[in-house]
Every structure is written in structure tokens, then in C-alpha cells.
Amino acid sequence: MDAKTFDTTDPALYINRELSLLAFNRRVLEQAKDESNPLLERLRYLCIASSNLDEFFEIRVAGLKEQVALQAARVGPDQLSPADQLRRISEIAHALVAEQYQMLNELLTPQLAAEGILFLRRGEWNARQARWVKRYFYRELLPVLSPIGLDPSHPFPRILNKSLNFLVSLEGTDAFGRNSAIAIVQAPRALPRVVNVPPEHAAHAHEFVFLSSIIHAHVDDLFPGMQVTGCYQFRVTRNSELFVEDEDVDDLLLALEGELHQRRFGDAVRLEVADGCPAEMISLLQHEFNLGPDDIFQCNGPVNLTRLMTVPDMLDRPKLKFPVFTPSRPRRLPMNSDLFATIRRGDLLLHHPFESFAPVVELLRQAAADPDVLVIRQTLYRTGADSPIVKALVDAARAGKEVTVIIELKARFDEQANIELATDLQEAGAHVVYGVVGFKTHSKMILILRREGKLLRRYVHLATGNYHPRTARQYTDIGLFTCDHLMGVDVQKIFHQLTAPGRAGKLKKLIQSPFNFHNKIIELIERETAHAQTGRPARIIAKMNALLEVNVIAALYKASRAGVKIDLIVRGICALRPGIAGISENIRVRSIVGRFLEHSRVFYFQHDTAKEVYLSSGDWMGRNFFNRIEVCFPIEDKRLRDRVIKEGLEIYLVDNARAWSLQSDGNYYRVKAGAKQRDAQLQLLEQLCE
């Protein structure tokens, strides 16, 4: 590309969103192949890759299919049409699925067997195991299975999204003279997909049987007097996007409750079938679900690899898993310390999962029990079942505190859990608000107002990640405790904005979408561009989950052309093409895929010796800038700022163990280790954990 004809609208400058997301999933799948990872963790990575692909079809492919059907095609800056994207996706996804099963069958299964962990196929059962399987079938499965023969009075049943089903071919007639040639057997979701063989019946340390194998072995018993001539697993993936227009409903909670039921029966977007399923059977299913040939995936193994996720948790084999670690606590936060007093002495930073999430819960518990605390306000996006966060808020409300919780009901796939916790909070006397119509509340904020003499002091927690104790041990995120007056006033204004109509006024320190987050990021990039144009040193390092917004990408291209050195650490989707001569040659993009999911958003801007660091709940995507309520906040304490630069950015820029480098052609290549291997997450575990 000729640098002199640089045009920020040139589609060649942008990588397609969906193809970039598939590239991320390939990086996850590569972790299953990587023998430096413990064996059971490699199995877990395989399951994560399978689960990611499920969601990709449920949301992304479903959306593209809708655009094609409605002839309302939207194209991104790469200018690929929805139909073109679907063709490319089908090609890549089929290759990914084939690779998943090859890994399972040729790599993981033999290596697990060598460790005494076996998945027994039907032909491998000995007489004792076969008898146990038969007893298990009659005791656990036969009473709950409801086979349905297809005939004029039994039409094709509704198939739940991602459920396990069997297509059975039959010969003969039954007691009523019916000669149904086809039947459907649906496996209830409550049944485990992987069954542990009891030790007294096992020939090895750990033996498992797939539910599908048990049903296959005894499917004849479901159709007495008939001859079963074939039995084939299949699974349908459906459109799972919720279609609730906030502006058109009177009660968002009731509307969502109704829509959640329909999610299970959305339009089919993918069909997975057993590898040996005959063509005429596949054709029958394809016709039933109105799918094309590109939507069919033949699986050389269980049709739902995600269900193998339970296996590592069923095994006490610590040498085959990542080492257990204990998150540390900052020295300023010993157990049972007065968190309010500690925060008054200066801002505090927590870097999860290396440092404990417990102080966040403790802050709320102390606030609930403290007679001087008057008000607690919090946003909740994802928090998990039986959350100690919710329990602390319930206790606070019952203790008479003024508790207000902003719950985002439309947190994808967590809607039902959020509806339930909203009910629990309301029953305890808390005020529950569902945010602002048309905007997802994605910011992570806690505000506590405490009476201290004549002063009403504001204590604040701001974070890059959700208030979810489980994911706080699995995701990298950073949180800040502060009682800075101006920051506290800003957070109070945002909460007021979320609960009541009106204009909150200009914020002093925080940056907020959908108002000024986008403009501020552009402004900061352009400032560094101007510095570089005058010959002054200029530097940008940004870490995020995804980079898509076209105007930000264009600004980064211009900064690169001006000589700004730019490093981007983008875990997932990245539409920017680095390394284009004359355009993005000063930009490097890397992705870290390791033990923990990289989730923190850190933005660093430097000119001369001046350094600015911001943390945020939002990525550089259009939805985060314009369709969500996000908060971006500065780290002003020099010691904490330097720590964020070191732990959140610099250590990742020298990682050569888990890093992937994005090339200008859109491909990612694994960064090769040099003389000394540097694993950023492992280093942080060693530095910060107990």
C-alpha cells in the first residue's frame, strides 16, 4: 500500500471482526495442544474453545444470518458483506471443529489414558462394566427418557438449544400396528454427559463413560418389539440473542423473563451430527431445521465437547492441573483491618487474581455493619450464584442502610441469574434499578457514604472487572479503592444519572461513556501525535479485550505515521492491521492467552517524562463508547501508577511464553521464547501471591 495515498476508509486497513474472533478461538485451541500446560488443563482449554464456538454461532453467526435473510446487510470498515463473512466463517469453523476432535482423539485421549484416565467406548467395556452400564441405564436413564416416534400424530419435537438428542432409525411394527421408521430421543439436560465408572467396576484409576455411549448401547430397550437399525447423536445451536427493545416495554424484567424462554427455541444456525450419520438422516435434519450444507458439522466424537469441562473437577490429580495458588493481601490490608481507615490513609490497588478479591467483599460487609454508613450504591453486571457481594448488600438493606443497586438485566447469558438476585435484593428492602433505557450499564462502581463527625465522606471502589468472586480468581483485573473527594463526587453524579432523570453535570476526574469516553481517547491519541510531530518523545501502550472502533483505529494510524511508538495488548478481536509500511509500522499488537483470561483495560499515554494512566471497564469498541455506560478513571498516585505500568503493561510486552503477535496480513504467530522464557502471568503469580 502506498503511504502517500493513505486513506483511513480503505477496507484493506481493517481486519474483519468475526474472522478476528475466530482467530482468537484458534489461539485458545492451541493451548490444548501446548504440552507446557498440565494435561487436564489442556482438556479444559479444548472445552473452552468449544464453548466459545457455541457462543460465536449463537450470537455472531445468528446475527449475520438475520442480516442476509432481511436483506439489511451492514458492513464494517473491512467491507465484507454478511454473505461473504458467512462463507469465510464456515470454512474456518469447519477446520476448527475438525482440529478439536483430532486433538481429543489423537492427542489428549491417549495421553490421558497413559495417566490412567480413560473414556471407555462401547467396544471397550468388559463384562463387568457392561453389566454396570446396563444397571445404570435401567436405574437412571430409562425412567426419564421419552422417545418420540415420528408419525402424523407425533410431529418432530421442539429441540432445545444445544441439547443432546438421538435420531433413531427403526424397522417393524408396534402393538398398535404403527411402523414409525424414525424416532427422536432427547437426553434431559439434568443428566450428566460424562459418567464416572465406580472404582469396583473400573480396571484403571479413573474410567468414564459418555452418556451417549450408554444410550447407544441400550437404545433397543426404548423400543421393545422393534428393530433399531441406527442411532445417531445430534445437537442444534440456535439464535440466542434476546429481542427486547427497552423502549417498547413497560417492565423490562417481565419482558426478559418471557424472552428467556424463547431463547431456547430460536432459529437454528448450526447442526452437529455424529460422524457416521447417513446422508439421508442428515438431509432429514437439515430440512427440519432449515439449514444449508455449510451449517452441518460432522463430529468424530461426542457432539458437545463442552460437557467434558466437568472431568478435571471430578479428578484429584494435582500434578495434571495448574498449581494451586493463594492470592495475597496488600501489606496495608491485614485480615480484620479497618478498611475505611486504611483507605483514608491513601489509595489502594488490587491486582486480581494475584491479589485477593476478599477486601472488596469485606468493604461491603464492614459498611453493612457500620452505624456511621448511611448509603451504599453499587453496579452489578455479573456476580454469580450465592454471591457474598449480594449477601452483604442484603445485610446492609436489612440493617437500615439506604442501598441502591444498578443491575444490568441484559448481561448476556446471565439474565436469569440477575433477575433472581434483583428479586432477593428487593425483598430485603434495597432499591433496584435496571439502568438507563437503551444503554447497558457495564461500569464497575461502589459508592459508600459514611458520616465522620461533621463530614460526609465518600468511599469508592472502581474496577475493570465484574463483582464476581469466582471470575476474580480466573480473570486478570485491577480495582482501585479511594476516598478522593472529586472522584467520589463524580461517582455520586453517575449514580444519580443512572437512577433519576436529569443532567448530572460535568465530571471532574472520571471519563464516562456514552458522553466523553470516545472523545477523550481520541484527544489523548491526537495529543501524542502532536508531540511526535514536533520531534518530542511520544508513547502509547493500551491493553484491552477488543479493538474495533474505526475512528480510534484511524487516529492510531495517524499517530503511527507521526512517529508515536504504540504497543497494543489486545486479547481478542483486533480490527487494526499493524506493521503496514508508512501507515502502521510503529504499531505492534500482541495477544496474551494463558492460564488466566486477560480482562483488564489499561491505557498509558506518555510525552516527554509526563505519564498518564487510565483504567476502564470498557474496550475500544463502538458499543462501549456509544451504547454502554462505562467509566474510565485515572490512577493519580505515582506509586500506584508506576505499579500499573509495570504489572499491567510492561511485563506483558516482554512475555515470550504466552504471547501471540499480530501480522499485517491478519495472522497471529506465537512469539518464540529466547534464551530466557518470560511468562507474564507466572511472574505475577510469583511476585504477588503468597
Q: Looking at the structure, tell me whether residues 437 and 533 fall in a common domain.
A: no
Q: Could you give the CA distance from residue 202 to residue 118 in angstroms, rounded to a whole number?
A: 10
Q: Looking at the structure, tell me whether residues 500 and 518 fall in a common domain.
A: no
Query: Is residue 191 a part of any domain in this protein?
Result: yes
Task: Kindly report the average pLDDT of the chain as a whole number.
Answer: 90
Q: Looking at the structure, tell me whether residues 349 and 299 fall in a common domain.
A: no
- Find out whether 327 and 355 touch, Cβ atoms under 8 Å: yes
Q: Could you give the CA distance from residue 154 to residue 281 in angstroms, rounded to a whole number?
A: 18
Nearest to 637 by CA among 345, 340, 346, 331: 346
Q: Looking at the structure, tell me whether residues 438 and 349 fall in a common domain.
A: yes
Catalytic positions, please?
442
Q: Looking at the structure, tell me whether residues 590 and 470 fall in a common domain.
A: no
Q: Could you give the CA distance from residue 527 to residue 558 in angstroms, rounded to a whole number?
A: 11
- Where does 103-179 have alpha helices with state H? 109-114, 127-136
Q: Looking at the structure, tell me whether residues 414 and 306 fall in a common domain.
A: no
Q: Could you give the CA distance from residue 643 to residue 419 in angstroms, rounded to a whole number?
A: 38
Q: Looking at the structure, tell me whether residues 288 and 364 fall in a common domain.
A: no
Q: Could you give the CA distance from residue 399 to residue 394 in angstroms, rounded to a whole number?
A: 9
The predicted model gives 524-551 an average pLDDT of 96
pLDDT of residue 250: 46
Q: Looking at the structure, tell me whether residues 268 and 386 fall in a common domain.
A: no
- Where does 74-108 have alpha helices with state H? 82-102
Beta carbons within 8 Å of 160's beta carbon, 6+ residues apart = 186, 189, 264, 265
Query: Is residue 46 a part of any domain in this protein?
Result: yes
Query: Is residue 7 a part of any domain in this protein?
Result: no
Q: Which three-class secondary structure string do you get for 475-533?
A: EEEEEEEECCHHHHHHHHHHHHHHHCCCCCCCCCCCEEECCCHHHHHHHHHHHHHHHHH
Query: Is residue 334 a part of any domain in this protein?
Result: no
Digit-coded pLDDT (tens) for 65-105: 988 988 877 788 999 999 999 999 999 999 999 999 999 99
Segments forming the whole domain that contains residue 41: 12-320
Query: Is residue 499 a part of any domain in this protein?
Result: yes
pLDDT of residue 247: 41
Nearest to 620 by CA among 585, 565, 573: 573
Query: Is residue 245 a part of any domain in this protein?
Result: yes
Query: Is residue 181 a part of any domain in this protein?
Result: yes
The CATH code of the domain that includes 423 is 3.30.870.10
- Find out whether 549 and 622 touch, Cβ atoms under 8 Å: yes
Q: Could you give the CA distance from residue 194 to residue 112 in angstroms, rounded to a whole number?
A: 15
Query: Is residue 331 a part of any domain in this protein?
Result: no
Pairing of strands 268-274, 296-299: parallel
Among 452, 475, 509, the domain boundary falls at 509
Q: Looking at the structure, tell me whether residues 189 and 56 fall in a common domain.
A: yes
Nearest to 393 by CA among 431, 358, 436, 339: 431
The predicted model gives 512-520 an average pLDDT of 96
User: Position of cell 501525535?
Assistant: 529
Query: How many other β-carbons are positioned within 10 Å of the β-carbon of residue 651?
Result: 18
pLDDT above 80: residue 154: no
In this prediction, residue 175 has a pLDDT band, given cuts at 50, 70 and 90, of low
Q: Looking at the structure, tell me whether residues 313 and 439 fall in a common domain.
A: no
Query: How many other β-carbons are positioned within 10 Å of the β-carbon of residue 380?
Result: 25
The CATH code of the domain that includes 94 is 3.30.1840.10
pLDDT above 90: residue 413: no
Q: Looking at the structure, tell me whether residues 296 and 365 fall in a common domain.
A: no
Digit-coded pLDDT (tens) for 578-634: 999 999 999 999 999 999 999 999 999 998 888 999 999 999 999 999 999 999 999
pLDDT of residue 416: 66
Q: Looking at the structure, tell me whether residues 554 and 462 fall in a common domain.
A: no
Domain count, the chain: 3
Helix axes 252-263, 415-428, angle to 10 degrees: 150
pLDDT of residue 432: 87
Residue 658 grid coordinates: 504466552
Upstream peptide bond of 302 is cis (omega within 30 degrees of 0): no
